[in-house]
Amino acid sequence: MASRAGIDQYLYLRNLLSHNPLALRVLEAVAGAAKWNETPPPGTARGISYNCYKTYVALLKVIRKPTDADIDRAMAGNLCRCATYVRIRAAIHDAARLLEG
């Protein structure tokens, strides 16, 4: 929806999730792993899949310190064209550390 409206997806999600500290921390970790603040290389695109993102927030609600296997199971239902699973996994671990304090 954000891209269709011409709004930055990250900023759109930050606004949408402003009432949920857990969701914001996960979003910050995902955006950091995606290097959202950097301009993507020419000819490439990027996005934050809301469905995938909701999965990661739900995972961290249930398991505060997920293992790689926990994350893999959560990601198994999300087929992502970007193929950045390794970076996503690292971002989920980063978000879990942020939640610790």
The CATH number that applies at residue 96 is 1.10.150
What is the number of domains present in the chain?
Answer: 1
Closest CA to 91 of 12, 32, 9: 32
Widest CA span in the chain? 39
- Yes or no: say if 30 and 17 are a contact pair by the CB < 8 Å rule: no
Say what the pLDDT of residue 5 is.
Answer: 74
27-66 per-position pLDDT tens digit: 888 788 777 888 877 877 666 666 677 788 888 888 989 9
Provide, for the chain, the percentages of residues in helix, strand and coil under a 3-state DSSP scheme, each rounded to the nearest 5. Answer: 60, 0, 40
The model's pTM: 0.60
Lowest-confidence segment of 29-33, 80-84, 93-97 by average pLDDT: 80-84
More confident of the two residues 35 and 70? 70
Q: What is the DSSP letter of 40?
A: P
Structural domain range at position 83: 2-100
3-state secondary structure of 57: helix
Percent of the chain with pLDDT over 70: 81
